[in-house]
Amino acid sequence: MRIGIVLFTSDRGITPAEAARAAEARGFHTFYVPEHTHIPVRRDAPHPGTGNEALPDDRYMRTLDPWVALAGAAAVTERIELATAVALPVEHDPITLAKTVASLDHLSGGRVTLGCGFGWNTDELSDHGVPPGKRRTVLREYVEAMRALWSQEEAAYDGDFVKFGPSWAWPKPVRGDVPVLVGAGGTENTFAWIARSADGWITTPRDENIVDSVARLREAWAARGRTGEPRVVALDGKPDPEKLAAWAGGGVTDVVYGLPDRSVDEVHGYLDRLVVKMETMLPGSLGVVPA
């Protein structure tokens, strides 16, 4: 399994560039950042974790723009994958976002992965003109439209929420496409959506029985006629050798651990301790062990 790091970015503590550079130096595979454009003060949408309008962390309202954050990270790294966990594409113009993602992929040498969310905060989506009841359909059209712009010399799209005629758009992604993952609860609807329109799944902190869920995702994947295996990114809290072994045997391809938005020295210390744990539990999973 590949081991990644997610920094819930904010305007405090370590910068995304420094965090990504430190993660790469220690052999981590992927550096993830999240997205919220804003948080409406008055909301009808409950947070999935708290069950009401309370937020579990004030970083929700302090989140940095993910593409600016990853561009800074790209400039000071060479190998680490640059990803979102998760971005909210439907809060952008799809043509412009396709250009932004493709440009970052081009400039980073093909290191970008787009982790998408449907958006639990429907009040936030509404401020962007997205009908909450259609958010999955809107995201599907955005992904299809962006992939057309990334892959076709003359791209066009005609959907209910995205429409444009034959158009030129460069740069193209280095690999011809950008992998798309979906971060959402492990339901049958989510797995059907992934099997149709994405390349893999990012779990949520509320998902349990991950191995059983991966099996159901693989069933949906096969039923859709997809070849190969879906990528599965599991968010983890505290490393546990038995759990990691079960995940590795059950089809989890990536495990991700969260960084604190604290000082450089504190984050470096956290990463060093995590490296020791991971090399003990999964020898060889990281490329570099600090002296």
Terminal Cα-to-Cα distance of the chain (whole angstroms) = 23
Residue 291's pLDDT is 41
Q: Are 53 and 47 in contact (CB under 8 A)?
A: yes
Task: From 150, 78, 160, 79, select the one nearest 114 (Cα to Cα).
Answer: 150
- State residue 116's pLDDT score: 98
- Which whole-number Å values give the CA distances from 77 to 21, 50, 99, in the listed order? 6, 36, 21
Q: Is 119 left (phi over 0), alpha (psi -120 to 50) or beta?
A: left
Neighbours of 142 (CB within 10 A): 26
Distance separating alpha carbons of residues 7 and 35, to the nearest angstrom? 11
Q: What pLDDT score was predicted for residue 195?
A: 98
Task: Determine the Cα–Cα distance for residues 242 and 1; give it in Å rounded to an integer.
Answer: 14
**Residue 289 confidence (pLDDT):** 44
Query: Distance (Å, rounded) from C-alpha 271 to C-alpha 255?
Result: 14
Q: β-pairing, 163-167 with 155-158?
A: antiparallel
What's the token pair of residue 172?
């193209």
Question: Which helix (DSSP H) or strand (DSSP E) does residue 115 occupy?
Answer: strand 112-116
Tell me which residue has tokens 């039923």.
Answer: 223
**Domain 2-281, CATH number (from 3.40.50.300, 3.20.20.30, 3.40.50.1110, 3.30.56.10):** 3.20.20.30
If phi > 0 it is left, if psi is from -120 to 50 it is alpha, else beta; for residue 144 that is alpha
Please list the helix, strand and coil fractions of the chain in percent, rounded to the nearest 5, in that order. 40, 15, 45
Q: Are 26 and 36 in contact (CB under 8 A)?
A: no
User: Residue 256's beta-bridge partner residues?
Assistant: 4, 235
Q: What is the largest CA-CA distance in the chain?
A: 56
> Cβ of 1: how many Cβ atoms within 10 Å?
19
Q: Which two tokens stand for residue 217?
A: 């995702």
How far apart are the C-alpha atoms of 133 and 253, rounded to whole Å?
31
Structure tokens belonging to residue 80 = 């680490």
What integer pLDDT is reported at residue 284 of this predicted model?
Answer: 87
Mean pLDDT by 10 residues, the chain (291 residues): 97 96 98 97 92 92 97 98 98 98 98 98 97 97 98 98 98 97 98 98 95 98 98 96 96 97 96 95 75 41
